[in-house]
Amino acid sequence: MTIQVGDHLPQVTFRVSGPEGPQAKTTDDVFKGRRVVLVGVPGAFTPACHRNHLPGFVAKREEIMARGVDAIAVTSVNDIFVLNAWQQQSGAEGIEFLADGNAEFAKAIGLEMDGSGFGLGPRSQRYAMLVDDGVVRILNVEDTPSKAEVSGAEALLKVL
């Protein structure tokens, strides 16, 4: 079942980059006591993600944060090494990257998609949500994975 506004995020473990290399971070570690914009993308470096979706959040980061948001996080069904390279190449300092390498989070929130027709395997759908202390307050899911319109930074700013 797909997560809805008002639902609590399920407990999963992401991988993040730490000073000693990859480390585990739970849903509570990321969202408890914080207002976080979470951006879900099908894959790092994929055309719509790399050229259309992430750049808006990089460009609008300060404006989003000024609306009472504590953090912007991006999650993708990629490993943390790929996400680190994507963060660096995209100039996305100040945005947290959460690796969901086995699609556990995407499956747990009901927003996984089958990208095997493109050789991608299980992936996350494209979305943006506002999570307040672990509870989904805004959820914008794209109908088409190649678009970043309702889940883009501009669309989110209109409802924050």
pLDDT in tens, 79-135: 999 999 999 999 999 999 999 999 999 999 999 987 877 867 788 999 999 999 999
Q: Which of 3, 44, 49, 130 does the annotation list as catalytic? A: 49
Whether the Cβ atoms of residue 131 and residue 35 lie closer than 8 Å to each other:
yes
pLDDT category, 9, cuts 50, 70, 90?
very high
Q: What pLDDT score was predicted for residue 35?
A: 98
49 among known catalytic residues: yes
Q: Answer yes or no: pTM beyond 0.75.
A: yes
149: amino acid identity, one letter: E
Residue 47, pLDDT above cutoff 70: no
Q: What pLDDT score was predicted for residue 117?
A: 76
Q: Which residue has the tokens 């809805």?
A: 4
Q: What pLDDT score was predicted for residue 43?
A: 85
DSSP class of residue 118?
G
Per-residue pLDDT reduced to its tens digit, 24-37: 999 999 999 999 99
